[in-house]
Amino acid sequence: MTAATYQRVVLASRPRGEVQPDNFRIESAQLPELADGQVLVRNHYLSLDPYMRGRMSEAKSYAASQAIGETMIGGTAGEVLASKHPKFAVGDKVVGMLGWAEMGVADGATLRRVDTTHIPLSAYLGVVGMPGMTAWYGLNQIMMPKEGETILVSAASGAVGSAVGQLARLKGCRAVGIAGGPEKCAYVVDELGFDACIDYKAGKLAEDLAAATPDGIDAIFENVGGAGFDAALPRMNAFGRIALCGLIAGYNGDEVPIRNMRYMLTSRLTVRGFIVSEHMDLWPQGLGELGQLVAGGKIKYRETVAPGLASAPDAFIGLLKGRNFGKQLVKLI
């Protein structure tokens, strides 16, 4: 073991409104001695995900806020450099929650060894990882679409949304996405195979939604909230289901009032918020299915890769503004 110090990104201050670069600070840290049961991991990829915005605030959310001065939380994929845990050997590829750091020490129990023979390491942070499981859970446990039904998913070109639509298509559903800009929409339809994609930046959400969902909407996977969600509610069919996964439109503290709540009543909708990490019992099943679909080429995905640890803050800010295209990663090695 050579590296006694490593670089990491810590939370320097809590954002007021939009996240700014100076909310983060890069600093050096000392590696601790490896204790029994621990593993030293060099991270190859960091995962950047919208939920991290919530952790940066003090406001009540589903998870405790991130402490000032501590390493930014986050999923990571890397390689074992040293192990005092019987289940991990040097060279193993592992996924964990080491945060925005070049390396780190983790309890072996918090790591998962992954097989990169047929699936690239980075995909374990995306479609075969937490985002893929998020899509799988929301679709199968909340939306429960039947063949022939229409589903709508916002942030459709993103890590979660792209999986939702493709999984729904495999079930015989009509999959309609919402994304920002013609390039993303073309990708969602031409590459991912959605039946339609609505560009929310085109400024005619209601009209475009009506055209794309001639038989109404039976289930929504909501990542964004705000105007798109509000416009979709009146198009819901009776007994529709809404998986509430994210409300990125409001993550900076902007108010995003919902005016069409009455359709939750008149269309007898079921709306359920969820956090995939609370349903770990289903991960083996879900990740198994997703892994097979990815290895078999049945599900496509796209990544936006920012180079080097220092690029993480800007890449994260871009993610919150929708500048990424597919899964946002930071590549360290």
Q: What is the token pair recorded at 8? A: 């990491």
- Half-sphere exposure (CA, 13 Å, Cβ side) for 207? 5
Inter-residue contact 204 to 228 (CB < 8 Å) = no
Q: Min. distance of Cβ 283 from a copy of itself in angstroms?
A: 17
Candidates 9-17, 174-182, 260-268, 316-324: pick the segment binding a copy of itself (CB under 8 A): 260-268
Binding of a copy of itself by 257 (CB under 8 A): yes
Candidates 99-107, 170-178, 263-271, 302-310: pick the segment binding a copy of itself (CB under 8 A): 263-271
CA pair distance 250, 270, nearest whole angstrom = 22
Candidates 9-17, 164-172, 204-212, 246-254: pick the segment binding a copy of itself (CB under 8 A): 246-254
- The residues, ordered by sequence, that sit 6+ positions from 324 with a Cβ below 8 Å of its Cβ are 48, 158, 304, 315, 318
Q: Min. distance of Cβ 194 from a copy of itself in angstroms?
A: 24
Our CB check for a copy of itself shows the closer of 4 and 265 to be 265
Q: Min. distance of Cβ 314 from a copy of itself in angstroms?
A: 26
- In what helix (H) or strand (E) does residue 237 lie, and over which residues does it extend? strand 236-244
Our CB check for a copy of itself shows the closer of 193 and 234 to be 234
Q: What amino acid occupies position 13? A: S
Inter-residue contact 88 to 98 (CB < 8 Å) = no
Phi, psi of 255 (to 5 degrees): -75, 130
Cα separations in angstroms, 240 against 217, 249, 331:
7, 22, 40
Show the DSSP H helices in 46-98 as ranges.
51-56
Return the residues of window 120-139 that contact a copy of itself according to CB under 8 A. Answer: none
Q: Min. distance of Cβ 152 from a copy of itself in angstroms?
A: 17
Binding of a copy of itself by 36 (CB under 8 A): no
Per the DSSP assignment, residues forming a β-bridge with 265 are: none
Return the residues of window 269-298 that contact a copy of itself according to CB under 8 A. Answer: 269-275, 278
What is the pattern of x (binds a copy of itself, CB under 8 A) and - over residues 57-76? Answer: ---xxx--------------
Instruction: Tell me which of 25, 234, 237, 277 binds a copy of itself, using CB under 8 A.
Output: 234
Q: What is the token pair recorded at 78? A: 């890397």
Where does this chain bind a copy of itself (CB under 8 A)? 54, 60-62, 225, 234, 238, 244-247, 250, 255-259, 261-262, 264-275, 278
